[in-house]
Structure 1
């Protein structure tokens, strides 16, 4: 994977974390990620550092979500097809 792709993936994981926090009003603890002192805008850091950050951030997001499984989901999905829409003319 190219460094530019890692930077994009790193930014995507940061956005996933922020989106989850916004929609659930829960803070995702990222203690291990924070100790790395790296963010997607640190383009001077090497590929290995960004790869490590991506893996750690992803694991912390997943671990937090797994801990929250006993709670009902905040975002629910409904059937988007209604009988009126499915009827042929």
Structure 2
């Protein structure tokens, strides 16, 4: 997967998180994701960092 695609997927997962929070009023806790310190806006971070962030965010969203 290309870095651009990872950034796009990362942004989509953040949109899902925000959408869920606004529609339900519940906060989605993402401790595993937050520890990494990588957001979709950090385009300078490497591909592996974004991949780890996507996996952590996905895991946190599922739980």
Q: CA RMSD in A?
A: 0.5
Greater gyration radius:
1
Q: How far apart, CA to CA, are the structure 2 residues paired with 1:62 and 1:52?
A: 16
Aligned to 2:53, the other structure's residue is in SS state: helix
Shift of 1:32: 1.1
> Which residues of structure 2 form unaligned runs of 5+?
none
Please give the per-residue CA displacement for 1:13-33, whole angstroms capped at 9, x wherever unaligned: 000000001111100001111
Answer 1 or 2: which has greater helix percent. 2
Task: Flag the structure with more relative contact order, 1 or 2, with Cα contacts below 8 A and sequence separation at least 6.
Answer: 2
Match of 1:17 in 2: 17
Flag structure 1 segments of 5+ consecutive residues without an equivalent: 64-89
TM-score normalised by length of structure 2: 0.97
How many equivalent pairs are there? Answer: 63
> Deviation above 4 Å: which 4+ runs of structure 1?
none
